[in-house]
Structure 1
Amino acid sequence: MHARLLSLAKCAISHMVVGIAVICLPGIALADCSSDGSLSIDVPVKFSAPINVGRDVAVGQDISAAYFHPVTANAGFGTCTPPGGNAYWQGNRPLAPGFHDVYESGVPGIGLRFEMAVSSGLWNGSFVIPYTQSNRNNTHLNLAWHTADYVKVHIVKTASTTGSGLATPGTYATMALNSGPTRLTISIPPDGLHVNTVTCQTPDVVVNLGNHATSELGTVNAFSASTNFEIALNNCPGGIKAIKYEVDAATSILDADRAVVALDAASTAKGGVGVQLLDGAGNPHKLGVSNTLSGVDPNGGNYKIPLRARYFRTGAGIGAGSANTSMTFTMSYE
């Protein structure tokens, strides 16, 4: 009997302690930011035209950016009760490798950074997601979206090689308060962002300089008849403002002023002979120098760069045999 009474007393005390704990909890919960009403904003990110990516854009550099406004009229969405209170801005997509605030778009080498500018109560200012806003002054706040608020979406190159296509649709970022449902989402619709990696198709070119007698190159600085050829730039997409190109020697340069390069190691011809590169007019084509292609159509098209090549004698004692070399052609786009 006594043992049971003692047990009941312990149980009653236990219940009383729990009751006190429950009474304290609502007081803690009130010191935060909470949503009111049913206002929840979705900001659809839809670019008006495809975004072209030039090959010369550096990794980490913005390719393009656009502004999107959450509301067209001021609208309240919550309150903060002191002390404290937070708003949490979070990304909903994987981060691009090597970045802490750029999210994968689903297009290889292309990421998205979300910059916010808001004026809700005392939270005026801009920041990049992810971010936590705090009620630093511990005052009562009425939170509202304003027409001046914006989301600035940065399209960022995240890898040296980029692809083309549509960004993965869905939610990319959200904002929520300490309690209540999500107050804002940033999403991309199925056709919201189309990325094109700008490039022209450039087939390899093999130039046959023909067979020549050593007597054609009887003295130093003598040269053979030249062979005309073209570098083709096919199917260049629209949106290119300028095309720059450069020709570089894959072997050593024997005479930079005359654009003469050495034969490759597999060649069997002996002595001082090289290959000279000329432009379409027959002048030496400077190696390692950037040139701007004229007549580029911003709507896209096909282009040809006329060039010539010939053998050029650079020294004494030439002998018969194969005489080959190679050069590299590099383009950049603006």
Structure 2
Amino acid sequence: MNYMNQISVKSEGCWVRRLMPLLAMFLLSSNASADCLTVSAPADHILAFPAHIAVPRDAPDGMILATARSPAITNYWECKPDALMDLYQVTFMTPLVDMYAEGVDVPGIALSTANVFKTSVPGVGLVLGIRATSGCRGMASWGEIHGYASTEWTPIGGCYARAMDAVNVRTPLGAEVVAMLVKWGAIQPGIVDAVQGALMLKCKFGNAPTIGHTPFIPFCEDGAAVSYHVGTSMVSLMACETPDVIVDLGSHLGAVALPSVGSSTPSVAFRIDMRNCSTGLGMVDYRIEPTSAVLDLNMGIVGLDGVSTASGVGVQLLDDTGAAHVLNEFIPVVSYSSETGGAASIPLKARYYRTDDVTPGSANATMLFTMRYQ
């Protein structure tokens, strides 16, 4: 028996009313049976960085300082066969316009077109990436998130629920978002402010009887939205304070104090103090480089500087045991504690060393002290 029947089908907050001449015809129509729904949205995720990030002073540009990921939810939305799900994004409502770099490669997430946006801390950039997660699409590749403020929903990926799928099997669609802080230039310690507003994701559902040929015909424009917020973090530099050291080697009568080549004056003990060292450093190394010529690398002997008037002598650098100190190479600071930080010191000794016939005069040498933090 034929009769007119008006029914209502609810699909993710949008009511689609269809007037069908036959109830039986409605039940057999595959396009009309597309049924999509929100499963676990809405949700609000915080992309939380560590509260404190200590950066080595000599860290290279492009170094990833911290990474925060959202859960890789695969079923925010689900759809039955013969329908298309399209994932959309609307970017952070606080403008991310200023950039350190555009279209750079970020190996940490295999993102080759990332934009490095400026944060509130000079030298610290923000990179944002997104990928779709679903049963019919799998883990899609990472894509960049545009940083400019926008109220327009931009498509970033989709998922077809094919007619060949089982009738009662729903196809899921979800997303994963990543945020990274990246060193980009000289860092000034400070607090990375949270990005105000949120990155919003939603799903649009529509008919797709033929993949790649039939235009997307939405029957529900607004899926429940998922939001992501970027948190705050304090950034500091891993370092120690190292004041200059002046060592007085005294005045000596050349013929008496240095009677022959290879003789030396009594050594003078001194130390290089390291103050206010950061905690959490894996290793602290130091290197001593003379600014004048090295006369004997194995013996730790360097020549006098250009303004000295004496000749025939050099300055020999020794460790605290009296052995010749290594020059131009990094050496671990054994007194540094990663747990406590604070102060440490490097005990050393120095003395004059005769290298040739001695001519009286001033005898000075300068050496550079370099710290390396890892």
| TM tier relative to shorter chain | 0.7 to 0.9
Give the C-alpha shift of residue 290 in structure 1. 1.2
Identify the match of residue 154 of structure 1 among 160, 172, 180. 180
Query: Do the aligned residues in 1 keep the contact of 2:313 with 2:353 (CA within 8 Å)?
Result: yes
The yes-or-no answer on 1:114 pairing with 2:128 is: yes
Tell me the alpha carbon deviations over residues 18-66 of structure 1, each in whole angstroms, 9 at most, x when there is no partner.
xxxxxxxxxxxxxxxx998995543322234411111232211223323
Greater strand proportion: 2
User: 8 Å contact 1:45–1:186 — kept in the other structure?
Assistant: yes
Partners of 1:77 and 1:183 within 8 A in 2? no
Which stretches in structure 2 are left out of the alignment for 5+ residues?
1-35, 104-113, 147-154, 164-169, 205-220
Structure 1 gaps of 5+ residues are 1-33
What is the aligned partner in structure 1 of residue 237 from structure 2?
197
Identity percentage of aligned residues: 29
**Alpha-carbon separation, structure 2, partners of 1:313 and 1:135:** 79
Q: After superposition, where does 1:92-131 map in structure 2 within 5 Å? A: 92-94=95-97, 96-100=99-103, 101=114, 102-120=116-134, 122-125=136-139, 126-130=141-145
| Mapped contact 2:67–2:180 kept (Cα < 8 A) | yes
Corresponding position of 2:156: 133
State the AA in 1 paired with 2:122: P
TM-score, with normalisation over the residues of structure 2? 0.67
Map of 1:267 onto structure 2: 308
Distance 1:174 1:180 in 2: 16
| CA-to-aligned-CA distance 1:60-109 (integer Å, 9 cap, x gap) | 122332333276x9433999x98995634756424542343222222121
Task: Give the letter for the 1:188 counterpart.
Answer: V
The one-letter code sitting in structure 1 at the alignment partner of 2:244 is D
Q: 1:87 maps to what in 2?
A: 88
Question: In structure 1, what residue type is equivalent to 2:142?
Answer: F
In structure 2, distance between residues paired with 1:226 and 1:220: 17
- Indicate whether 1:188 and 2:230 are aligned: yes
1:286 deviates by 0.7
Distance apart, 1:280 and its partner CA: 0.9
Q: TM-score with structure 1 length normalisation?
A: 0.74
Provide the residue aligned with 1:210 in structure 2.
Answer: 250
| Cα distance change, pair 150–142 in 1 and its aligned pair in 2 (3 A) | same
Give matches, 1:1-334, under 5 Å.
39-69=41-71, 74-76=75-77, 87-88=88-89, 90=91, 92-94=95-97, 96-100=99-103, 101=114, 102-120=116-134, 122-125=136-139, 126-130=141-145, 133-135=156-158, 144-145=173-174, 149-159=175-185, 161-171=186-196, 174-175=199-200, 183-189=225-231, 192-215=232-255, 216-269=257-310, 271-297=311-337, 298-316=339-357, 318-334=358-374
What is the CA–CA distance in structure 1 between the aligned matches of 2:48 and 2:138, rounded to whole Å?
Answer: 26
Q: Whose helix fraction is larger, Structure 1's or Structure 2's?
A: 1
Look up the SS of the partner of 1:315 in the other structure.
Answer: strand
Aligned residue-pair number: 292
Structure 2 letter corresponding to 1:133:
I
Q: CA deviation at 1:258?
A: 0.7
Alpha-carbon distance change, 219 to 153 in structure 1, aligned in 2, over 3 angstroms: same
Q: Using the alignment, how far apart are the partners of 1:49 and 1:299 within structure 2? A: 19
CA–CA distance in structure 1, aligned partners of residues 304 and 326 of structure 2 = 18
